[in-house]
A and B are shown apart, each in its own frame.
Chain A
Amino acid sequence: MTEDVTRGLSLLADEAEPAPIDSHAVVALARARTGRRRAVIASASVTLATVAVLALTVTALRSPTVATPAPTTTATETATETVTVTGSPAPDAVNGTQRGPAIGTEVRMPATPEERAARATRLQQELRAAFDRVLPEGWEYSTFKFACDPYGCWARGSIVDDAEPVDLMVHVSGDYSVSQCYGDTCTKKVMPDGTLVALDTAMAEPRSLGVDSVRPDGTSFSIYATWKKDRDGTLTDEQWRALGSAVTY
Chain B
Amino acid sequence: MSSRDRSENERFHGFADRSTRPLTRLAYLLCGDQHLANDLVQNCLIRLYQAWPKVADKDTADAYARKVLLRCWLNERRRPWRRAEARDGEVPDRPAPETDIARGVHLKEVFRDALAQLPPRQRAAVVLRYWAQHSVTETAAILRCSEGNVKSQSARGLAALRTALSTMNALEELRS
Within 8 A of B (CB), among A1-36: 1-2, 4-19, 21, 23-24, 26-27, 29-30, 33-34
Q: Are B174 and A7 in contact (CB under 8 A)?
A: yes
- Picked from A4, A10, A34, the residue with its CB within 8 Å of the CB of B131 is A10
Q: Are A19 and B16 in contact (CB under 8 A)?
A: no
Q: Are B28 and A13 in contact (CB under 8 A)?
A: yes
Within 8 A of A (CB), among B70-100: none
Q: Are B9 and A27 in contact (CB under 8 A)?
A: yes
- CB-defined A-B contacts under 8 Å, sample of 10: A5-B126, A8-B107, A12-B115, A14-B25, A16-B24, A16-B37, A26-B42, A27-B13, A30-B49, A30-B50
Could you tell me the distance in whole angstroms from the C-beta of A99 to the nearest C-beta in chain B?
71
- At the interface, yes or no: B127 with Cβ under 8 Å from chain A? yes
Q: Are B174 and A26 in contact (CB under 8 A)?
A: no
Q: Are A23 and B17 in contact (CB under 8 A)?
A: yes
Given known contacts A2-B158, A21-B45, A23-B13, what 8 new A-B pairs fall within 8 Å (CB)? A2-B130, A6-B131, A8-B111, A11-B111, A12-B29, A23-B17, A29-B46, A33-B46
- At the interface, yes or no: B146 with Cβ under 8 Å from chain A? no
Closest to A18 in B: B24
Within the assembled complex, what's the spacing in Å between the Cα atoms of A23 and B49?
10
Q: Which residues from B are CB-within-8-Å of A19? A: 24, 38, 41
Q: Are B16 and A12 in contact (CB under 8 A)?
A: no
Q: Which residues from A are CB-within-8-Å of B12? A: 23, 27
**Given A21-B42, A26-B49, A33-B46, A9 and B131 touching (CB < 8 A)?**
yes
Within the assembled complex, what's the spacing in Å between the Cα atoms of A199 and B34?
105
- At the interface, yes or no: B67 with Cβ under 8 Å from chain A? no
* Across the A-B interface, the 7 shortest Cβ-Cβ residue pairs: A16-B28, A18-B24, A23-B16, A9-B131, A30-B49, A13-B25, A19-B38
Q: Are A8 and B49 in contact (CB under 8 A)?
A: no
Digit string of B103-139 for contact with A (CB within 8 Å is 1, else 0)? 0100110011001000000000011001101000000
Q: Are A21 and B20 in contact (CB under 8 A)?
A: yes
Closest to B132 in A: A9
Q: Which residues from B are CB-within-8-Å of A1? A: 158, 162
Q: Are B130 and A11 in contact (CB under 8 A)?
A: no
Closest to A32 in B: B46
Within the assembled complex, what's the spacing in Å between the Cα atoms of A7 and B170?
12
Q: Which residues from A are CB-within-8-Å of B20? A: 18, 21
Could you tell me the distance in whole angstroms from the C-beta of A177 to the nearest C-beta in chain B?
74
Within the assembled complex, what's the spacing in Å between the Cα atoms of A14 and B163?
24
**Given A18-B38, A23-B13, A26-B16, A12 and B108 touching (CB < 8 A)?**
yes
Within the assembled complex, what's the spacing in Å between the Cα atoms of A7 and B161?
13
Within the assembled complex, what's the spacing in Å between the Cα atoms of A168 and B41?
102
Q: Are A18 and B130 in contact (CB under 8 A)?
A: no
- At the interface, yes or no: B171 with Cβ under 8 Å from chain A? yes
**Given A26-B45, A33-B50, A21 and B16 touching (CB < 8 A)?**
yes
Could you tell me the distance in whole angstroms from the C-beta of B164 to the nearest C-beta in chain A?
11
Q: Are B175 and A15 in contact (CB under 8 A)?
A: no
Digit string of B50-77 for contact with A (CB within 8 Å is 1, else 0)? 1000000000000000000000000000
- Picked from B17, B104, B175, the residue with its CB within 8 Å of the CB of A11 is B104
Within the assembled complex, what's the spacing in Å between the Cα atoms of A16 and B20?
11
Digit string of B19-30 for contact with A (CB within 8 Å is 1, else 0)? 011011111110
Q: Which residues from B are CB-within-8-Å of A2? A: 130, 158
Could you tell me the distance in whole angstroms from the C-beta of B163 to the nearest C-beta in chain A?
12
Chain A CB within 10 Å — which of B16, B25, B115, B170 has the most?
Answer: B25
Could you tell me the distance in whole angstroms from the C-beta of B22 to the nearest C-beta in chain A?
9
Could you tell me the distance in whole angstroms from the C-beta of A16 to the nearest C-beta in chain B?
4
Q: Are A9 and B24 in contact (CB under 8 A)?
A: no
